Structure 1
Amino acid sequence: VFAADEFYVNAFGADTPARIPPASDYGDYDMFEDGIGIVRSYVDEFDEACESGLAARAAEVLAARDLTARYIVGEAMQPFLDAMIANSPLAGRLVPLTVRNDYFGGNVNVTGLLTASDIAPAIKATSEEEEGTHQLFLLPSVIFNDNGVTLDDMTVQDIENAAGAPVSVVSCNPFDYLPEIIKLAQDES
C-alpha cells in the first residue's frame, strides 16, 4: 500500500522533501503514473543535479545572459519546489510560475493536467508584470499529449500567440530540463 504524493504534499507542504518516504519504499515505482513516487523521484533527481554541479552550471549560464527561467508548474508542486530552489544554486534564476487550474475548477492541481487556457494568461500576466526582464518561459512536456496538444486542444504556437511571449517545451526531470535550459539560454545570445 502506498500513499499518493498529494497526501504528503498536503500534510507537509514545503517540508515534503524531508518527510516523504525514501526511494526504497517505492519499489520499482510501479504506481508512478498514478502519482505515487513522482515527488520522491523529482526530489532525489533535483538533489543529485545540485550535487553534481549541473544546477550550478545552469545558474551560471542563466546569470551570464541575465535570464530568468520561468518553469510552469501546477499548484501541487509549489510548496516544496519553491523551497528546494531557494536553497539551491538556481535561486533567483529558476523561478517556478505556479498556475492555478481553473479549467478543471481549481481542485485539480498537478502540472500534467494544466491547460493552455490557464497557462497562457499566467505567462502573459508575468511577462507584463516583469517587463524589461529577460525570461525563458518553459512548458513541461507532460502538459502535451502525443499529438502535441494540451487537454484543451492548444499547441505550443497557440500558447505563444495567447501569451504574447515565446515559450519552449522542456522535460519534467531536472537531469533533462537543466541541460535544455542551458542550451536555450546559450541560444538566446
Structure 2
Amino acid sequence: MDKNLIIDIVKGSIAEELEIEKGDFLISIDGIKINDCIEYRFLETAEQLELEIEKKTGETWIFEIDKEMDETLGIIYENALMDEVKTCRNKCIFCFIDQLPKNMRKSLYLKDDDSRLSFLMGNYLTLTNMSDHEIDKIIEYGISPIKVSVHTTNPALRRLMLNNKNADKLMKTFEKFRDTRIEIDCQIVLVPEYNDKSELSKTVLDLFNLFPVIRSAAVVPVGITRHRQGLPGIRGLTKVECRESIRLINEMQIRFLEEKGTRFVYLSDEFYIKGDLELPDYMEYEDFHVLDNGVGMVRVFEREVDEELRKIKKKRIEKRLTVLTGSLAYDFMCEITAKICDYFKGISIEVIEIKNDFFGRDVNVSGLITATDIINQTKDRLGSNVLIPDNMLKKDENVFLDDITLIDLEKSLGISVKPIEVNGHKFVREIIGE
C-alpha cells in the first residue's frame, strides 16, 4: 500500500500540533514506505524521525520530529493494519465460524490468522501460515505479547485438528522465540476424545517448559452450535469431563506454582459453572493475562461490584430494572443483583435468562445472544429500564449478530434498551443512576 489515508487525529497529539488533518495521507517515515501497522509502530517509537505527509490538496509536507520514545504521533488510519488481512488457511474441526448459519453479516465469516491482529487487537493465531521472515520481523520489532491458538502440541493430532499440513511445526516455531523479549499467551480449545486428558496434560507441560516466553495458557471448552451439518462429529464437554479437567489442571497448577511461582495454566469460568464447582479465588488468576478467554471474568466483575459498593453510602432508591443475560452467567447475575438490591433498599432487579435458540442451547454466553432471541423470549414482559451487556453488540456499532440494530430491537419491544460495558463499577453506577 503506497499511501495510508488518515481518518482522524488524536486531540493534543503531535499530529494535531503539526496541523496534519483528516483526509491527508501518510507517505513514509524516515524515507521508508510503510508496509503494515507493525512496521509503523516500530518506526513511530524513534525519538527523532522524518515524517512525509501528502496533504489532501496534493502538497507534500515533510516534518522533522523530536519526541519521547513512548509518545505516539496521534494519527488514526482508515485501515488499522495498513495492509490486507491474512486469512486463515486451516479447517479446524471445531471452528466456530464454520458453524454459523447463513445470511449473517459478511464480516462474521472472515477467518483471520494475522500476527498483526494478535498484537493490535488480541486476536489468536495458529502460526500455520507464518513465514520465517514474518517470525524474524516479530522478533526484530519486539511485537509482544502475541496470542497463539495451540490446542495440542502433538504434531499428528494438531495436523488432524487444524486440518493443515503445516500445523505440526508449532514447537519448532516456539523455539525461535525462546531467547527473545517476546511473550506469548496460549489458548487450548478442549475437544472431548481429541485433545483432553493425557493429551491435555502433555500439551500444558510442553508449553510450561517454554516459560517465561510462553507466560500463560488458557483452556476453554469447545463451542458447539446447531449448525454443524457436514462438519466433523464432535460434541461438547459433559459435567463429569469438566470436573476431570479441573482436577487435572489443579494438580498441574500446584506443581507449576512450586517450580516457577506461577500457576501458568487456567481454565475458563465455563468449566466451573458447567461442572457445578466453586470458581477459584480472585488472587488465583494472578495477572489475568487470558481474561479475554473468559478466564476469571466472574471474579473480576464480582470484585468490581464489591469495590464500587464500598465507595457508596447505603441509601434507599425506588427503582425497577431488568437485566438480560445468557445462560452461563444467569445464576451469577442473580447473586450479584441480589447483593445490590440488599445494599440499596427499594431497588428491584429482575434478571432474565436468554436461551440461545439462534445458535443452539449449548451456546450459553451473552456475547452470542441475538436480537431475535431477545424479541422472541421477552416481548410484552419487560419494564421500562432494560439493561444488556454491550458485548451483545458489534464493537463500536449498535448491531447484533443477526444484523438487527439496537434501534430495531427497541421498536420491536416498544421500550428503550441500554447497553452497558461489562464492568462491575459501571454496572452499579448505572443501576443507581449515577
Give the TM-score band, short-chain normalised.
0.7 to 0.9
Structure 1 counterpart of 2:287, one-letter code: D
Question: Structure 1: how far apart are the matches of 2:363 and 2:370?
Answer: 11
Q: Of the two structures, which has the highest relative contact order with CA contacts closer than 8 Å and spacing of 6 or more?
A: 1
User: Residue by residue, what CA displacement relative to the aligned partner does 1:75-103 show, whole Å, maximum 9, x if unpaired?
Assistant: 11112221333244258622212111111
Pairing 1:1-189 to 2, within 5 Å after superposition: 1-12=265-276, 19-53=278-312, 56=314, 60-61=316-317, 63=318, 67-87=319-339, 88-89=342-343, 93-127=348-382, 135-146=384-395, 147-183=397-433
Question: Structure 2: how far apart are the matches of 1:70 and 1:90?
Answer: 16
Compute the RMSD of aligned alpha carbons. Answer: 2.3
User: Residue by residue, what CA displacement relative to the aligned partner does 1:91-117 show, whole Å, maximum 9, x if unpaired?
Assistant: 862221211111111111111111100
Where does the alignment leave 5 or more consecutive residues of structure 1 unmatched? 128-133, 185-189
Q: Is the 8 A contact 2:302 2:424 kept in 1?
A: no
Question: Structure 2: how far apart are the matches of 1:178 and 1:32?
Answer: 21
Q: Is the 8 A contact 1:42 1:174 kept in 2?
A: yes
The total of aligned residue pairs comes to 166
Question: Structure 1: how far apart are the matches of 2:388 and 2:364?
Answer: 16
Question: Structure 1: how far apart are the matches of 2:417 and 2:406?
Answer: 7
Q: Is the 8 A contact 1:120 1:160 kept in 2?
A: no
In terms of fraction of residues, the more strand-rich structure is 2
Structure 2 counterpart of 1:169, one-letter code: P
User: Residue by residue, what CA displacement relative to the aligned partner does 1:121-169 show, whole Å, maximum 9, x if unpaired?
Assistant: 3331423xxxxxx530112111111232111111110111121222112
Aligned-residue identity in percent? 28
Tell me the secondary structure at the aligned position of residue 350 of structure 2. Answer: strand
Structure 2 counterpart of 1:108, one-letter code: V
Q: Is the 8 A contact 1:123 1:137 kept in 2?
A: no
TM-score, normalised to structure 2, is 0.36
Question: Structure 2: how far apart are the matches of 1:78 and 1:49?
Answer: 21
TM-score, normalised to structure 1, is 0.77
Question: Structure 1: how far apart are the matches of 2:394 and 2:429?
Answer: 23
Where does the alignment leave 5 or more consecutive residues of structure 2 unmatched? 1-264
| Bigger CA radius of gyration | 2
